[in-house]
Each structure stands twice: as structure tokens, then as C-alpha cells.
Amino acid sequence: MPDNQIAPDGGKFQTIFANGVNLRVYTLNEGRTGLPLVICNGLGQAVEILYPLMHEFPDRPIIAFDAAGVGRSEVPETAATIPQHAAMLRQVLDDLNVDRCDVMGISWGGALAQQLAYEYPQLVHKLVLAITSAGGIGSWWGTPLALSEIMFPFRYINKAYGDFIGPFMYGGEALLQPALFKEYSKNAIRPSYEGYSAQVKALCTWTSVPWLSQLNQPTQVIGGALDTLIPVANQMLLASLMPNARIRIYNAGHLLMYSRKSEVGALVTDFLDGSAS
């Protein structure tokens, strides 16, 4: 697993051994002051898919990573649960000497972000939960097509098929502008089948519903009214159960962190820079 790839915008890739797995970690704006923003990515998604969004935070230290089995990180010998993924991320942050951070969880990464905030409340300052849910057994599923496609990574194996089916999974603007989805997905890296299926299993067997009310971190929930993969009812549930959460709904689908990245970037920056402690 090489860690000497070319990283854009002055960022840096490195390999960090975390709880028995080598993870590929990307850091950006390391010289900037302030709390780092840790980004937990979506199902099967490597760091590269986040580049356009990270451009919206030019003054903030950023940490992103390929989850175990995804991108260029190693596949664990046994499937990792969401709590185990959280333990890996905690080890990464310890290795980077991060003892306080803000965390953004996108889609699948929202489960990881919630778990990290629950297990390590002194570590996580503020939370951003975008197009995500309270877990497979505590959520509303998307359309039957989206659900069937999410179970297998064939869209990663066959790029043409992925560009065709992706808009039907994501809904909203992806359906109306399929070229936009194609542009978004061009940097995707095919995950291993073992790593991808383990991520699916981890989410389907996890829920945060029993302890969501214990998450006291200031939280910005973000949803897409036209999301056919993780319907907006999921974000409404998160915001209703968390004691210190606010919610913003966009007229967009599951692509909104790309299609509305400038608006989302401004919203998140305002939230993270605000006075809530």
C-alpha cells in the first residue's frame, strides 16, 4: 500500500497503523491554527472523492482517511464493526497528536462520527452529520433500487454501469444532471469486495438510537429533501433526538455534498466558527 502518492493542494498522504490495520491518511493545511476538521467518508469512498468539498475549507486543518478495506487502506482480517472503526480512527488521531477536533460524518461516515462522539466525548468538539442516519436498524431505507445497489459494489467494478445507476440511487439533481454525477465519481477508487461488504454489514447491524440523546456536542445535521438513498426522515430523526442539534435541509439529493458544496461549506464554516461550545 503506497503512501507516496501525489496529494493535491499541499496535502500529504501517510500510512498509519491503527488497531492492526494500515490506513491511508490524508492531511491538509497542517500549518493552520484551530481545531482540525476530521472527515469520515461515505460507503466505499476513498479520500479522493472529498477533494472538491475540502476546497471549501481553505483555512482549516483537515484530516481525512480511507476506512479499513476502502481505497488504499488494508482490509482487516476480520470484518470491523462501527465501534472498531471508531477505535481505529481514535488511534489515527492519537498518532497525529490530535486531542480535540471537529468531526464531519458523510453518509456511512455519519455512523462512525456518531460512534466516535459517543465513545470519546472529550475528543469531539462539534459534529456535522450529513446525509446520514441513526443506523441500519434505526433508520428509514431508501428506494428498493437504491437499497439493492448499495448491497454490492458492482457500480465500482464497472464504471459505465456506475455512471448509469448512480443518479437513480442518489436522486434529485443527479437524475436531472447525470453529467454532474459522472464528474463527481470520476476520482472514485474501487474498494475491495471484502472491505465494502464489511462496511455494509457494520452499518446494518449498528444503531445509535439508544444513546443519541446522550450526545451533547453542538451538531449541525444536513439533509437532502430529494435524497433517495438516505431519505430526509433520517436526518429529522437525528435532529429530534439529539439535545444540541440544528438541521438544514437542501432541495437536493444524496449528491448535495458535491452539488451544493459551496453552500454547505459556508454553512459548516459558520457553524464550526460559531460561539457554541
Kindly list the distances between the CA atom of residue 53 and the CA atoms of 36, 74, 81, 156, 261, in Å, as whole numbers in the listed order: 15, 25, 27, 21, 6
- The SS3 call for residue 12 is strand
Q: Which residues of 165-199 are buried (b: 16+ CB within 10 A; e: fewer)?
A: bbbbbbbbbbbeeeebbbebbeebbbbbeebbbbb
**Catalytic site residue from 73, 107, 192, 208:** 107
Q: Give the separation between CA 3 and CA 89, rounded to whole angstroms.
A: 18
CB 112 within 8 A of CB 82: yes
Residue 217 grid coordinates: 456536542
Backbone angles phi, psi at 65, to 5 degrees: -160, 160
| Residues whose CB is less than 8 angstroms from the CB of residue 52 and which lie 6 or more positions away in sequence, other chains included | 184, 258, 261
Examine the residue annotation and report whether 133 is marked as an active-site residue of this protein: no
CA distances from 188 to 46, 51, 88, 98, 179 (A): 7, 11, 22, 28, 15
**Catalytic site positions:** 107
